[in-house]
Each structure stands twice: as C-alpha cells, then as structure tokens.
C-alpha cells in the first residue's frame, strides 16, 4: 500500500489515536488526515456503491475526508489536529 | 456550549493576503478588527504555515512576495486585531431580520461551540479553492487537487506517494512538481492542457510587469530542473480517466488540438498519485448568502462578487477583496485588501489615507493578472467534456452524469441548476455543491444549448458550511 512519507523535519515524539480499532501514530501538529495518509489508509469514507473516498482538497472544502471523531459525526479530518487517545471511525453511508 | 456575542468595528472573513492587508490597514488607524479563518494560522492558502510543532526556522514564504512576512507578523501581533483560528463563518445576519436592516452579525463556529460576532463593516476575503474537475475515476483515492498535495507538503511536511503524474493547465503544477522532487518524490509527468509560454513570451511578459520578475523566473527555473530530473512535460494533453478499483493505479492521458479534440489515442501512465490542477474557483458563497450580487467572469474563475473601485459590494456595509472578485493571485488580493482597508478607514474615521502607492500597486497587479489569464485561462466549459455517463459528478451524494442528463431529458422544463438539485440530490451533500456546481451547470447548459451563466448557481443557504446543529441552536438569538 503506497503511503505518504514524512519529510523535512525530524519527528521526535509521537502520540497515538485509534482508527477503526487500530492504533495510528501521529506527530504533534499533524492533522488526523495527514497521520492516516502516512499510515497508508486510503479509505476514509466508504460510499454504498461508488467505493472508497480519501482526502481531495486538504482545505476543508470537499468533505471527502470526514470521519466520526470522538462521537462527533462529519468532522473534517484535514482540519483536525491529532490528539492522544482520539477514537475515530468511518462515517457509515446509508 | 453558549458563548456571548462580541462586537468589533470590522469583521474580516479569511486571513489570506486580502484579509491580512485589510486588517492591518484598518487596525493601524484605530478601529478594532476581528479576523476569522478556518486554518490554525494567518497566511491563507498561499502562505499557509505549518503548525508551530512542525515549523523549523523562520516563516517560509513563496518567492516574489516581499511584503508577506511583515504582514503575517503584524496580523499575529497587532493589538487591534483579534485573530480567530479554526473558526468557520457560516452565515451573515441583520439585527432586525424582518426588514434586513440594522447592524451586521456573523454566525461563527469554533470547536466546541458557536458564537455571534457583531460588526459595522464586513470584509469578505474568502479566497479560492482548486477547480473541481470531474472525469472518469476522479473519485478514486490517490486523485488529489494540486492545492492538497502542496499544502500537505508545505504545512504538514508529508509527501504524496510516487510515482506522481500531474494534469491540468495552471503554472502551479510546474512549481509543485519541482517541490515534490526537491522533497525526494518521484514525478513522472506533468501534462498541461495548452502549450507552455515560450521563453520569448515570458520575456515579453516580464517587461510588461515589473515587480513580478521573481515569480516568472522561479517558474522558468522549476521547468529547467524538471527537465534535468527526466520529468516528461507534455503540452496539449489532458486527463482521460484514472484507473484502479480501490485506489488510483494509473492514468490515461490524451493529446488534444486547440478545440479540445483528441489528436491521438490515449496512453496509460502508471501512478500512485494523480494531481489535478486546472485552476481555481472563487469562494463566493458567503458573499452570495449576505446578499451581494455576483456576475459571470469565466476568465477569472466563474461567478465573482460585483464591487466598485473601492471594493464595496452591492450591500453597502459589505466589502470584498481578493479572489472572490475574480481569481487573480496574491499580488492583486493584497492590493484589493489595502483598498478595502482604506475605504473602511475613511468610512469609519473620516480620515483619507494617502492612497497613491496602493493604486499603483493595484494597477501593476492587474496587468500581471491579465498576463497570467492570457497564458493560462481556465478551460471551464471544455472540461465538462471529460465527463462520461458513469462519472460521479456529485461526490457527496454519488450522483453521476448519466442521471443528470436523463433527468434533463425527462423534464424539459428544467433549465436551472437548483431544479436539477431538487430532482436528483446533486449538490445536497455536506460540501453543498462546491465540488459539483460547475459541472452540473456545464452539463445543464450543454443539454439545453444555453450559455452556462444562464442556468444559474446553487443558492447559498445558511449555514454556508455544515456546522453542528447543537452548536447553533445553543446560541442566543
């Protein structure tokens, strides 16, 4: 699975959050979307008939990266900084 | 999660070059300013900075904008500017909603709650976003907008997986390909829809636009480095489709002539990331919701906010600056912001600021914007031809082009995009039509044989961005 690569600045410390039951590392300052992309996640949103979706705009416009974060639905993961212990799941499409 | 309302002399939505210029101009003369942005720091997309934890050394500023650093620093420290990060402005209201009169109030949301901001003047400086271009396979993970790949690299310091292919018509693609390679990425090809400016055209443009030399020389430098790195730069080439089932694994590209007709069979290039950069759309929904008139300006990105030479919209206490007036780049946005700021200072304090240098700057920026427009016009209507019947147009609601065409054929009276929306749900999802509006309009116009500006635009409704209902309902009215 091709994943995004962390570049440019050494990350010395990582926190972890939970995505669909799996622990995902994130450096402080990283968004949930960036950390998931670095973990090789390609399916952020799963539509009924049209397959998986992943971040498209990274500026809060497209809503393809939305997740359920700590019980709040429709949260844009590209605009949300990763925090220790977050519990994150996919949106379930009707 | 109730928070009390607050009052400021001026509310500015968007902390990019336009919003920052207006904010500092006004704050320097005394009035109080609240500056709202959805991002954690000021700068806008063009000067988007990493969060403090990922920043190393001084601010990184794109070459060619000598004023940017001081402007960012001023906005972060000015005592009359209250910067509200990670804050969504989801609607504008009047104190007396019944007759639309009275002071302006802006509905805002920042996790965990909503609040009202009152102001006697509003500046809409909401910028632009990557022009969404629908083509077969564009919903596959791995297909991303140029602004996304660039902002992930610049402000999150993460690099998209190679091999990368970039398709589009905007010079940003050349700069981005160069940045990816400098960060260790693998770029195979940049496919541009039109020809690239020749060195001779560039030189001619240079002499016409003093002050922008570094922008064009950085473009020329990037092209040289790409060629040296073995990146194929093809011209008169467009995306045909992205291939893959769970994610993008390849892209078909095809050659076109001046009329966008294919000149050769499509060829397939393997890629893990497909970057799309056909231009930008002005963010005008907040202005439209506030009642400002818009007009159609295809060479400047589509629907733009009408305004006078002092940046005043058709709503007297609402001003507009930067890309919502027509996509023209950071220099023009900066000039717009200065002019809006000067007008508001005169309105509020009666003081006329010396404006000669601002006017000269604005004129220079306009001539540069015209050169870029001439070299890289956004191919709005041609792009709709990329869509086949199975292509998803509305990503949120998974509505494809075939469904839209069928409903138009079955409902001959429908010739407005809002009627299309009601009939098939395209534009009803959480992005509120920002990602399908242009394509729905182009398909409707094509089917009806009408000019695209005659089929309308999705109505901008409150909230202009989805915010938790509980947060809004908890606010005092």
Q: Model's pTM, two decimal places? A: 0.94
Q: State the sign of the Cα–Cα–Cα–Cα dihedral B441, B446, B448, B454.
A: positive
In this predicted structure, what is the pLDDT of residue B156? Answer: 97
Q: Is 50 exceeded by the pLDDT of residue B1?
A: no
pLDDT digit string (tens) for B463-477?
999 888 777 777 765
Indicate yes or no: CB of B183 within 8 angstroms of CB of A56: no
- A7: nearest Cα among B273, B51, B158: B158
Query: Looking at the partner chain, which of B45, B152, B430 has a beta carbon nearest the beta carbon of A34?
Result: B152
- A64: nearest Cα among A25, A37, A85, A28: A37
CA distance, residue B106 to nearest chain A CA (Å)? 19
Counts of helices then strands in chain A (DSSP H, E): 1, 8
Task: Kindly give the interhelix angle for B417-424 and B437-448, rounded to the nearest 10 degrees.
Answer: 110
Indicate yes or no: CB of A7 within 8 angstroms of CB of B184: yes
Averaged over A13-22, what is the pLDDT? Answer: 98
Residues of A with Cβ-Cβ distance to B110 under 8 angstroms: none
Q: Is the ipTM of this complex over 0.90?
A: yes
pLDDT band at B226 (very low <50, low <70, confident <90, very high): very high
In this predicted structure, what is the pLDDT of residue B220? Answer: 83
B160 touches chain A (CB under 8 A): yes
Closest-CA residue of chain A to B245: A51
Expressed in percent and rounded to 5, the helix, strand and coil fractions of chain A are: 10, 35, 55
Q: What residues does B262 pair with on adjacent strands?
A: B256
| Residue B434 structure tokens | 């920002």
Whether the CB-CB separation of B175 and B219 falls below 8 Å is answered with yes
In this predicted structure, what is the pLDDT of residue B3? Answer: 47
pLDDT digit string (tens) for A60-88?
999 999 999 999 999 999 999 999 999 99
Indicate yes or no: CB of A52 within 8 angstroms of CB of B246: yes
In this predicted structure, what is the pLDDT of residue A92? Answer: 76
User: Could you tell me the maximum CA-CA distance found in chain B, to the nearest angstrom?
Assistant: 65
Query: Looking at the partner chain, which of A4, A59, A66 has a beta carbon nearest the beta carbon of B160?
Result: A4
In this predicted structure, what is the pLDDT of residue B2? Answer: 42
DSSP B211: T
Q: Is 80 exceeded by the pLDDT of residue B142?
A: yes
Q: Please give the Cα distance from B388 to B401 (Å, whole number).
A: 7
B278 touches chain A (CB under 8 A): no
Q: Is 60 exceeded by the pLDDT of residue B208?
A: no
pLDDT digit string (tens) for B375-388?
666 677 788 889 99
Residues of A with Cβ-Cβ distance to B273 under 8 angstroms: 2
Residue located via tokens 């469904």: B403
Q: How many CB atoms sit inside 10 A of residue B243's CB?
A: 18
Query: Looking at the partner chain, which of B38, B132, B148 has a beta carbon nearest the beta carbon of A79?
Result: B38
Q: Is 80 exceeded by the pLDDT of residue B256?
A: yes
Query: Looking at the partner chain, which of B51, B56, B160 has a beta carbon nearest the beta carbon of A81?
Result: B51
Hey, which residues 291-350 in chain B have their CB within 8 Å of chain A? none
């Amino acid at each position: 699975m091709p994943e995004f690569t962390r570049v440019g600045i050494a990350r010395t410390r990582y926190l972890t959050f939970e995505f669909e039951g799996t622990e995902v590392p994130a450096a402080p300052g990283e968004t949930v979307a960036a950390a998931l992309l670095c973990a090789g996640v390609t399916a952020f949103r799963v539509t009924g008939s049209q397959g998986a979706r992943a971040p498209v705009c990274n500026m809060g416009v497209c809503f393809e990266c939305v997740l359920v974060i700590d019980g709040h639905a429709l949260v844009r993961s590209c605009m949300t900084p990763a925090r220790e212990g977050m519990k994150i799941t996919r949106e379930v499409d009707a | 999660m109730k928070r009390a309302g607050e009052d400021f002399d001026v509310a500015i939505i968007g902390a990019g070059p336009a919003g920052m210029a207006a904010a500092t101009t006004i704050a320097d003369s005394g009035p109080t300013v609240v500056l709202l942005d959805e991002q954690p720091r000021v700068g806008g997309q063009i000067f988007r900075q990493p969060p403090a934890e990922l920043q190393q050394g001084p601010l990184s500023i794109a070459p060619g904008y000598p004023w940017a650093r001081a402007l960012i620093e001023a906005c972060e420290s000015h005592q009359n500017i209250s910067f509200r990060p990670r804050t969504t402005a989801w609607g504008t209201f009047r104190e007396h909603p019944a007759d639309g009169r009275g002071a302006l109030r802006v509905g805002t949301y920042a996790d965990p709650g909503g609040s009202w901001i009152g102001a006697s003047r509003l500046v809409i400086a909401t910028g632009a976003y990557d022009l969404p271009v629908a083509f077969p396979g564009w919903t596959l993970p791995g297909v991303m907008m140029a602004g996304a790949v660039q902002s992930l690299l610049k402000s999150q310091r993460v690099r998209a997986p190679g091999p990368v292919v970039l398709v589009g018509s905007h010079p940003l693609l050349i700069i981005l390909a160069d940045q990816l390679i400098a960060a260790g990425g693998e770029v195979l090809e940049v496919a541009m829809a039109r020809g690239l400016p020749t060195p001779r055209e560039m030189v001619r443009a240079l002499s016409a636009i003093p002050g922008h030399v570094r922008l064009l020389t950085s473009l020329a430098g990037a092209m040289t480095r790409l060629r040296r790195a073995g990146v194929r730069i093809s011209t008169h080439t467009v995306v045909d489709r992205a291939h893959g089932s769970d994610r993008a694994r390849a892209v078909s590209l095809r050659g076109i002539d001046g009329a966008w007709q294919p000149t050769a069979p499509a060829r397939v290039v393997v890629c893990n990331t497909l970057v799309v950069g056909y231009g930008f759309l002005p963010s005008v929904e907040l202005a439209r919701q506030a009642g400002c008139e818009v007009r159609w300006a295809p060479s400047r990105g589509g629907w733009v906010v009408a305004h006078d030479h002092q940046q005043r919209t058709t709503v007297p206490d609402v001003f507009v600056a930067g890309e919502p007036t027509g996509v023209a780049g950071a220099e023009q946005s900066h000039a717009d912001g200065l002019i809006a700021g000067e007008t508001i200072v005169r309105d509020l304090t009666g003081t006329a600021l010396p404006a000669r240098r601002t006017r000269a700057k604005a004129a220079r920026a306009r001539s540069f914007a015209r050169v870029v427009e001439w070299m890289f016009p956004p191919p709005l209507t041609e792009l709709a031809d990329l869509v086949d019947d199975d292509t998803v147009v509305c990503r949120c609601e998974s509505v494809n082009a075939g469904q839209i065409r069928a409903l138009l054929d079955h409902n001959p009276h429908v010739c407005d995009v809002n009627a299309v929306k009601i009939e098939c749900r395209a534009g009803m999802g959480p992005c509120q039509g920002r990602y399908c509006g242009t394509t729905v309009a182009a398909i409707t116009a094509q089917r009806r044989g009408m000019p695209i500006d005659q089929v309308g635009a999705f109505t901008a409704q409150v909230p202009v961005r989805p915010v938790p209902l509980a947060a809004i309902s908890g606010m005092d009215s």
